[in-house]
Amino acid sequence: MRSLIFISLLLTSAKSVQAQNDSLFIRQAYDAALSNGHAYENLRSLCKDIGARITGSAEAAMAVEWSEAKMKSYGFDKVYKQEITVPHWERGTKEAGWVRKKNGELIKVNLLALGGSIGTDGIMEGELITFPSLSALQEASEKEVSGKIVFINQPMDEKQISTFRAYGGCYPIRGNGAVEGARLGAKAVIIRSLGMPVDPHPHTGSMHYNDSIEKIPAAAVSTQDAELIQALVDAKESLEFVMEMDCQSFPDVTSYNVIAEIKGSEKPDEIITFGGHLDSWDTGEGAHDDGAGVIHCLEALRILKELNYQPKHTLRLVFFMNEENGNFGGKSYAKIVKEKGEKHVAALESDRGGFAPRGFTCNGNEEHLKMLASFESYFANYDLHVFDPGYGGVDIGPLKNEYEDIPLFGFVPDSQRYFDFHHAPSDVFENVNKRELELGCAAIASFLYLLDKNL
């Protein structure tokens, strides 16, 4: 009995020492990020020296070069590119849009084509018909809609504490608005931007067509302009909409996921993938979406290397290409690694902006959720409190199709300001806070350390 008690005490003592060592390492990771970090300058360079990085553009190609060179500069064990095929859509000349009142007065609005939309083939105009939601449009008759330009003025639900839930509730107006409008004979569809504040910045984003239904132009106006249009409608004004968009799609092109690794010491054939998406929309600079995410993960790997951490598993950093309009980077990555016979044991994504960290979510089984919950105490002094079941990310999502039992983790920053900038011209480097960005890098480095040790 005494020997059993002694062994139990030894095990308890060993766990206590290990916990202290883990806490010390996490403190060092935070110190490295906050006192001697590279993240803010790297994000500045990505945003200013490269710029917006829509798939198929020269900027996207230069971003691949920039990423490969930056990874090599840090001396990771392996750096390489993974060839993929991606779509190529261009906005063309700047969009133009006006509301025309019955008396002929023209009111200019801030307009952005939705990603993947067709152009207007010159100036398009038509009677404007307004709906408060996508469901209201779906319930309308063809007689009401045919030959008109549809405006869907469905705001994000400001009562939602998580702005991502509010976004999810409104996404269908952007994704499916053109299909539903065309089904009823509309000439074009305009939507209220998916943004929380009322401001002059229109938000773009991906939309879809149905091959069996005629394609019509689709665009977003700023929330400020949406309010203006609604006020005119409420005042019983008879309105027309005038617009011109020059966007078009081109043949697919070759691009790359950019990858860096630190090889595992005990289980080198077991891989933990983590990263974000390198591409962005062509407005703004893609600073929060997803410049911050790829920089979070690059800096996390740099910090682990700087602290001489030798992981058990191979840590693989991936800058995915083409999340915004097809996710061919994520889909291709999952298929390629499965075909190569690789063993993937976990994945993590950062794609929710560069704001102050709040925690992590997990799409996994009960054991994975218990492991995630066990990490919470390590982050108590760093203001992280979200360690819950939830979503991993778009880029890493396809891994679940190839590795059914793989846990997918999502980095969760504060969400309240994300949709001020999401897909908008205002998503620029100047709107990322240096300290909040660095805290995110430290949180991800620390999480990867704990994940590697506990899998």
Q: 336 in helix, strand or coil? A: helix
pLDDT at residue 7, rounded to an integer: 55
- Residue 33 has a pLDDT of 98
Reported as a single tens digit per residue, the pLDDT across 261-317 is: 999 999 999 999 999 999 999 999 999 999 999 999 999 999 999 999 999 999 999
Of 217, 246, 275, which residue constitutes the final position of a domain? 246
pLDDT tier for residue 4 given thresholds of 50, 70 and 90? low
In tens, the pLDDT along 212-270 reads 999 999 999 999 999 999 999 999 999 999 999 999 999 999 999 999 999 999 999 99
Asked if 218 contacts 243 with a C-beta cutoff of 8 angstroms, the reply is no
Confidence at residue 295, expressed as pLDDT on a 0 to 100 scale: 98
Chain CA centroid to CA 211, Å? 27
What is the phi-psi region of residue 104: left when phi exceeds 0, alpha when psi lies from -120 to 50, beta otherwise? left
Q: Is 309:76 a contact under the CB 8 Å cutoff?
A: no
- E strands present in 110-157: 111-113, 124-131, 149-152
**174 within a domain of the structure (yes/no):** yes
* Residue in 393, 440, 370, 432 with CA at minimum distance from that of residue 274: 393
62 falls within a domain: yes
**Is pLDDT above 90 for 109?**
yes
Nearest to 334 by CA among 398, 387, 273, 288: 398
Q: How far is CA 55 from CA 182, 249, 252, 280, 394, in A?
A: 27, 11, 10, 8, 16
Same domain, 347 and 201: no
Nearest-angstrom CA–CA distance, 202 and 423: 8
- Residues 306 and 43: their CA atoms lie apart, in Å, by 19
Provide the domain limits for residue 179: 94-246
**Average confidence (pLDDT) over 420-425:** 97
Return the pLDDT at 23.
95
* One domain for residues 296 and 228: no
Residue range 406-421: mean pLDDT, rounded: 97
Is 16 inside a domain boundary? Answer: no
Residue 299 sits in the same domain as residue 443: yes
Q: Which of 385, 411, 295 is nearest to 45 (CA)?
A: 295
User: Are 118 and 189 in a shared domain?
Assistant: yes
User: Pick from 176, 211, 246: which residue ends a domain?
Assistant: 246
pTM above 0.75, yes or no: yes
Give percent above pLDDT 70 in the chain: 97
Residues 49 and 112 grouped into a single domain? no
Contacts of 109 (CB under 8 A, 6+ apart): 97, 98, 99, 221, 222, 225, 228, 229
Contacts of 6 (CB under 8 A, 6+ apart): none
pLDDT mean over 427-439: 98
Q: Residue 434: CB partners within 8 Å, gap ≥ 6?
A: 40
* 1 pLDDT higher than 80: no
H helix or E strand, kind and range, residue 453: helix 434-454
Q: Are residues 128 and 79 in the same domain?
A: no
Q: What is the CATH number of the domain that holds 110?
A: 3.50.30.30
- Out of 246, 272, 299, pick the residue that ends a domain: 246
The answer on 265 and 353 residing in a single domain is yes
Residue with tokens 């906050």: 34
Query: What's the CATH number where 302 sits?
Result: 3.40.630.10
Rounded Cα–Cα distance for residues 419 and 53 (Å): 19
φ, ψ for residue 85 (rounded to 5)?
A: -110, 135
Residue 12 lies in a domain: no
Task: Decide: 234 and 111 in contact? Cβ < 8 Å.
Answer: no
Is 159 in the same domain as 281?
A: no
Total number of domains in the chain: 2
Q: Are 298 and 431 within one domain?
A: yes
241 and 389 housed in the same domain = no
- Asked if the structure places residue 3 within a domain, the reply is no
Complete edge-to-edge strand list for the sheet that includes strand 267-277: 78-90, 248-262, 313-320, 267-277, 343-349, 408-413, 357-363, 386-389
Domain annotation covers residue 232: yes
Residue 260 dihedral angles phi and psi, to the nearest 5°? -135, 150
Residues 331 and 401 in one domain: yes
CB atoms within 10 A of CB 365: 12
Compute the average pLDDT of residues 119-124: 98
Q: Residue 4: inside a domain, yes or no?
A: no
Confirm whether 8 is domain-assigned: no
Q: The tokens of 344 are what?
A: 């993937």
Q: Which residues, including other chains, have CB under 8 Å from residue 30's CB and lie 6 or more apart?
A: 382, 439, 442, 446
- The DSSP-derived string for 301-324 is HHHHHHTT---SEEEEEEEES-TT
Helix ranges restricted to H, 124-258: 134-138, 142-145, 163-183, 223-234
> Does 424 score more than 70 pLDDT?
yes
- Residue-wise pLDDT for 318-368, tens only, equals 999 999 999 999 999 999 999 999 999 999 999 999 999 999 999 999 999
Residues 336, 433, single domain; the answer is yes
